[in-house]
Amino acid sequence: MSKKKILVVEDDSDVRLGYYVLLTANDYATCFAADGAGAINEARKSQPDLIILDLGLPGGDGFVVLDRLRAMPNLSLIPVIVVSARDLQGNKERALQAGAKAFVQKPWDDGDLLGLIGQILGHPAGQTTEQDPPPS
Amino acid sequence: MTDPAEMPGPGAADHQARILIVDDEPHNRSLLEVMLTPEGFQFETANSGEGALACVARQPPDLILLDVMMPDMDGYEVAARLKGDSATNHIPIIMVTALGDREAILRGLNAGAEDFLSKPVDRAGLRVRVRNLLRLKAYSDYYSSFSQTLQKKVASRTTDLVERTRMLEQQAAVLTQHAALLDMAPNAIIVRDLEYRILFWNRGAELMYGWPRAEALGRVTYELLKTEFPEPIDSLSRALLLTGQWDGEVVHQTRDGRRLLVASRWGLQIGPEGTSSRVLTIHHDITEQSRADAEHRLLSQRLSLATAVAKVGVWEWDLASDGLTWDATMFEIYGLPPVVPMAYDKWTAMVVPEDLAHVEATLQSAIDRKGEGSAEFRIIRPDGDVRNITVAERAVLDDQGKVSRLIGVNMDVTERKDAEEALAQSRRNQLQFKDDFLSHVSHELRSPLTAIKQFTSILLGGLAGELNTAQREYQEIVLKNVDQLQSMIDDLLEVTRLETGKLTVEPERVSISDAITDTIDTLKGPARGKGVSLSWDVPSDLPAAYADRTRLRQILIILLDNAIKFTQDGGSARIRARQTDQDPPGLVVEVSDTGCGISPEIAENIFGRLYQVSDGTQSSRKGLGLGLFICKELVTRQGGEIWVSSQLEKGSTFSFTLPTFSLTSVIAPLLKNDKWPAESVALLTVDMKVPSSSSLDATREELSTEARSVVHRCLLPDLDVLLPAMDADTEGERFLIAAFADEKGAAGLADRLREQFKRLASLEERRVNISVSFSMLPPLPWKEGVSTELMVASMATHLEESVKHQEPREPIHHE
């Protein structure tokens, strides 16, 4: 079974590197985008299994990216975890209503994030692959 | 023949004798005149009795030749009148009668005539008679006047002497008496003569002017007292002599040189001979009074100036007549010409209608309490301008102690209000900026913090190679501090939300024991790490609270976290909850510890913003000091109170109250003006059933939130109300809605709910079942005219009963 691929949309290069180290170490394939336009292109090109989307992006609000993803037939079913430094209140509800699977507030706990990714990628219909528990 | 007229005699030579000839016939008068002309007499004539009398009155003649036969008044009557009057009885009268008429002669003599002549008059006889009589009269006149003068002189001398003595005695007595009385008078009483020399000086004058009587008597008043008269002294004296009195204000100087303003009253005293010789003067010192008067005038001038400048209108309302008296500023404030007569009704017509009841109530209460009152209201001026007015009034009592009038002021505070509004707006803007700034900074801080936390976790997770013990320990310190920083940022954002009103509290039915166990679960780890034991105690029959679930948990976590933080190894922290004795009963939750305690002065301020207490373990680290402030705000916003009791070195107990849940608190806001929004009430039930295969708790919670927001979207404010969950359920969620609507309206709401839920993709995706149903409640069980409280309470009972009889929840697999 090929590795699950995760698209990380994040404008902060340090944080991108952090994702890379964490996700790679946990046996995920990764691809990256630093803005909204890049996110759509990368998603089309890579067809990831999961998208981690930061709301605060240069050149466009994360919600706009989310809406565009949901509107594209071949991308609309890719689960999205929305990540943001913004407040939980209001934004979480809005993200879920826009079709995100989860809302994670920055800074997150790596263990929690890995658990969430595992749950989402481990359970979709038709997928039977068991994910290894994340290293503690 | 010697002319008898040349005989010496008193007065005869002195003047030409005047003879009055009285006859109605001009011819006879001329005849007599002609006959006597050579004798050198003066003649007067009269052609009637009346004419004769008038002539005598004008200038008494020396002799009268009087015709008897005259129309209207005959000679007898004229003679009788003249002889009957002492002023004229000495004038000799010669009656002229018809010849040989004896009766006429006798009547004439009886009437007092001295002699008579018969017509036709004999010239010689006439002359002799006239001459004799004239001579006689001259002597008589002489003697008579001489003796009269003598007599008069003696008599008057005597009377004068007697009278004078008597008067003097009387006067002396009266004066003595008066002097005694006058001495008792507090005023200065001075008697002076017309030359202003002092004749009398009372005790009051001594006291007032400082001059003893002995020194004052005989002095000239205006010299002694250095009087300053309001007009020249001559004109004062003239006025006094003319009218007998004078009063006015003068300035006197006392012996020691003080100037007194004196009210003076002078009265001319009339002496016994009818002459005036003395003046009684009374003086009253009005220096103080006039100063007070002047001050009063000045004050009232200042006041009216102040009210005019400050645009303070003064009014007076006469309750009996409903008349309003306004000063000029009032008219200015109301934009009316100052000639309009005001009445209470005219005023009320200008007040903005919705403000009228309030301002009238304060007026009435000032009347009822016989006190004062004030209010703020708006008026609409004739030009349509709306102004803000403040009024302050005070009741004025009449003799019987009843309120007869209100007096008060109006002030136009529109500009001030506008300025206040502008100030408040700028303050709001500043606060907004501060909050925006804080919010922005806090959010931006989260990004680098994310990277720090990320890489610390990576290092600790060994993703970059295994760490040695020291490296691991140091990285854990980094991580701990990152967590602290993170919670500070969270607190900061929370406070920002509190202050901008973005923090919302959504109270619902909450189980206290669930919230407490949840909190203890969350903080078990840190407590164990510090060696602090946790316990809790909640009575099993404790009623549910009416609170925001998330916020309650937040409060408990802050308090318990503090308790752990300030308690040493081996100590304990405990959460208890109980019902209060109040009516209606509330709930009180206590978080106590066996920690270091709080000194009273700190306890007083501990809930203030940015109040910092160094925590026991890391004395250099203070934190932001926002936790308890947030707690207090959250408790207050849920209708509770929070306080602390503490003993140093023994421990502290933080307590807060929450309202008990009751349906009444949920439905009370729907009752407006003692009326429910509709006659009938429907109870809608929305059941959400989440398949058990989905085991994600987080997802379930999200679904509940989502479903709740759908329900909220469909409800009409003021008509529908979402009832709180009556019991906890792990299977799914049930929403109960009380809708003030008829059957058609309720069906419409049910349809709308179904429609909205269908659109929710996430529900379908997770195979969540939603069912919506409704039933109409039986007619409301109360009558008209019951109290608001009773209506709410009985409606609550009504709903509660209906909810209890709802069908038990069952899995639903269709829609």
The per-residue DSSP string of B101-148 comes to -HHHHHHHHHTT-SEEEEESPPHHHHHHHHHHHHHHHHHHHHHHHHHH
The list of chain A residues with pLDDT below 70 reads 1, 59-60, 123-136
Residues of B in contact with A111 (CB under 8 A): 457
What pLDDT score was predicted for residue B272? 62
Q: Note the pLDDT of residue A59.
A: 67
- For tokens 């709802």, what's the residue? B806
Cα separation, B255 vs B714, in Å, equals: 100
CA–CA separation, B93 and B64 (whole Å): 5
Q: How many CB pairs under 8 A join A and B?
A: 77
Q: How far apart are the first and last CA of chain A?
A: 24
DSSP string for B560-624: HHHHHHTS-TT-EEEEEEEE-SSSS-EEEEEEEE-SS---HHHHHHTTSTT-----SS-TT----
What was the pLDDT predicted at B455?
A: 92
- For the cut 80, the answer to whether the pLDDT of residue B664 exceeds it is no
Mean pLDDT of the B739-745 span:
85
The predicted-structure confidence for B149-165, as pLDDT tens digits, reads as follows 878 888 888 888 888 88
The CA-based angle B19-B23-B27, given to 5 degrees, is: 100
- Output the CA torsion B746→B747→B751→B752 (10° steps): -30
**DSSP for B283-318, written as a single string:** EEE-HHHHHHHHHHHHHHHHHHHHHHHTTEEEEEEE
Q: B128-150: buried (b, 16+ CB within 10 Å) or exposed (e) per residue?
A: ebbbebbbebbeebeeeeeeeee
Interchain CB distance below 8 Å, A106 and B450: yes
Beta carbons of A18 and B455 less than 8 Å apart: yes
Closest CA to B243 of B272, B220, B271, B276: B276
Task: Give me the mean pLDDT over the B544-555 stretch.
Answer: 89
Question: Is A85 in CB contact (< 8 Å) with chain B?
Answer: yes
User: How far is Cα B310 from Cα B329, in angstroms, rounded to an integer?
Assistant: 9
Closest to A21 (Cβ–Cβ): which among B458, B486, B706? B458
Using a CB-CB cut-off of 8 Å, the residues of chain A touching B452 are: 107
Phi, psi dihedral angles at B290 (to 5 degrees): -70, -30
Sign of CA dihedral B548, B554, B556, B558: negative
Q: Does A88 touch chain B (CB under 8 A)?
A: no
Nearest to A12 among B451, B457, B761 (CB): B451
List B740's β-bridge partners, or say none.
B681
Closest-approach residue (CA) in chain B for A54:
B447
Across B681-686, average pLDDT = 86
What are the phi and psi torsion angles at B640 (to 5°)?
-115, -175
As a whole number of angstroms, the distance between CA B43 and CA B59 comes to 12
pLDDT at A125: 35
Please state, in angstroms and rounded to a whole number, the distance separating the CA atoms of residues B797 and B648.
48
How do residues B310-340 score in pLDDT, each as one tens digit? 778 889 988 888 888 888 888 888 988 887 7
Which tens digit of pLDDT belongs to each residue from B198-236? 988 888 888 889 999 889 999 999 999 999 888 888 888
Q: Do A19 and B454 count as a contact with CB atoms less than 8 A apart?
A: yes
Q: Do B706 and A108 touch (CB under 8 A)?
A: no
Residue closest to B779 by CA, chosen among B678, B685, B686, B670: B678
A22–B482 CB contact, under 8 Å: no
Average pLDDT over chain B, rounded to an integer: 82
Residues of chain A neighbouring B449 (CB-CB closer than 8 A): 106-107
User: Are A52 and A101 spatial neighbours (Cβ–Cβ below 8 Å)?
Assistant: no
Does A97 lie at the interface with B, CB-CB under 8 angstroms?
yes
Output the furthest CA–CA distance in chain A (Å, rounded).
Answer: 39
Residues across chain A: 136
Pick B463's closest partner by Cβ from A22, A93, A109.
A22
Residues B420-432 have a mean pLDDT of 86
| pLDDT on residue B136 | 79
Rounded Cα distance, B293 and B79, in Å: 76
Contact list in B for residue A14 (CB cut-off 8 A) is 448, 451, 454-455
Phi-psi region of A47 (alpha: psi -120 to 50; beta: other; left: phi over 0): left
Taking the CB of residue B421, how many other CB atoms lie within 10 A of it?
10
Give the integer Cα–Cα distance in Å for B632 and B23: 136
Instruction: Tell me how far apart the alpha carbons of residues B190 and B231 are, in angstroms, rounded to a whole number.
Output: 20
Bigger pLDDT: B326 vs B812? B326
Q: Is B183 exposed, middle or buried (0-12, 13-18, 19+ CB in 10 A)?
A: middle
pLDDT of B622 above 60:
no
A chain contacts of residue B464, beta-carbon cutoff 8 Å: 21
The crossing angle, in degrees rounded to 10, of helices B414-460 and A13-25 is 40
The verdict on whether omega for the bond into residue A58 sits within 30 degrees of 0, i.e. cis, is no
The amino acid at A38:
G
What's the pLDDT at B576?
94
Site from B441, B443, B450, B712 to mutate, A interface, most A CB atoms within 10 angstroms: B450
- The phi and psi torsions of B541 (rounded to 5 degrees) equal -100, 20
Among B96, B87, B144, smallest CA distance to B122 is for B96
Cβ(B373)–Cβ(B366) under 8 Å? Answer: yes
> What's residue A47's pLDDT?
93
Q: What does the pLDDT read at residue B55?
A: 87
Residue B245 to residue B395: CA distance in whole angstroms: 46
Q: Is B457–A15 a contact, with Cβ atoms under 8 angstroms apart?
A: no
* CA-wise closest residue to B695 among B733, B643, B731, B646: B731
What is the distance in angstroms between the Cα of B313 and the nearest Cα belonging to chain A? 53
* Per-residue pLDDT at B727: 55
Q: What is the ipTM of this complex?
A: 0.75
Q: What is the mean pLDDT of residues B713-728?
A: 72
Among B579, B561, B574, CA closest to B631? B561
Output the six-digit token pair for B7. Answer: 């005989």
* Whole-number pLDDT of residue B814: 39
Pick the most confident of A91-105, B758-772, B785-799.
Answer: A91-105
- The shortest CB-CB distance from A107 to any of B449, B463, B497 is to B449
Higher-scoring residue by pLDDT: A41, B292 = A41
**Confidence tier at B624 by pLDDT (50, 70, 90):** low
Minimal Cα–Cα distance from A45 to chain B, Å? 26
Least confident piece of the model among B488-492, B638-642, B655-659: B488-492
Residue B4 structure tokens: 């008898």
**Share above pLDDT 90 across residues of chain B, in percent, rounded to a whole number:** 11
Residue B461 distance to chain A (closest CA, Å): 7
The CA-based diameter of chain B, rounded to the nearest angstrom, is: 198
Q: Is there a contact between B458 and A97 if contact means CB atoms under 8 Å apart?
A: no
pLDDT per position as a tens digit, B371-388: 888 889 999 999 988 999
| Pairing between β-strand B312-318 and β-strand B403-412 as defined by DSSP bridges | antiparallel
Q: Do B709 and A22 touch (CB under 8 A)?
A: no
The answer to whether the beta carbons of residues B555 and B549 sit under 8 Å apart is no
* B contact set with A (CB within 8 A): 443-444, 446-455, 457-458, 461-464, 482, 486, 493, 497, 502, 696, 698, 702, 705-706, 709, 761-762
Which of A66, A82, A89 to probe the B interface (max B CBs under 10 A)? A89
Tens of pLDDT, residue by residue over B457-468, are 999 988 888 999
Interface of A with B in 28-57 (CB under 8 A): 56
pLDDT tens, residue by residue, B600-613? 887 878 887 766 65
Q: Are strands A56-57 and A60-61 parallel, antiparallel or unpaired?
A: antiparallel
Distance from CA of A110 to the nearest CA of B (A): 7
Give yes or no for residue B641 having a pLDDT over 60: yes
Q: In terms of DSSP bridges, do strands B651-659 and B586-593 run parallel, antiparallel, or are they unpaired?
A: antiparallel
Nearest-angstrom CA–CA distance, B6 and B13:
8
Question: What is the predicted pLDDT for the residue at B481?
Answer: 86
Contact B147, B10 (CB under 8 A): no
CA B552 to chain centroid: 51
Strand B63-67 to B93-98 pairing: parallel
**Is the CB of B450 less than 8 angstroms away from the CB of A107?**
yes
Mean pLDDT of all residues in B641-666 = 87
Considering only the beta carbons, identify the residue of B447, B497, B761 that sits closest to A12. B447
Classify the C-alpha dihedral B665-B671-B674-B678 as positive or negative: negative
First-last CA distance in chain B: 181
φ/ψ of residue B111, rounded to 5: -75, -5
Model's pTM, two decimal places? 0.48
B140 contacts B89 by C-beta, under 8 angstroms = no
- How many Cβ atoms sit within 10 Å of the Cβ of residue A111? 13
User: What is the mean pLDDT of the segment spanning B500-518?
Assistant: 84
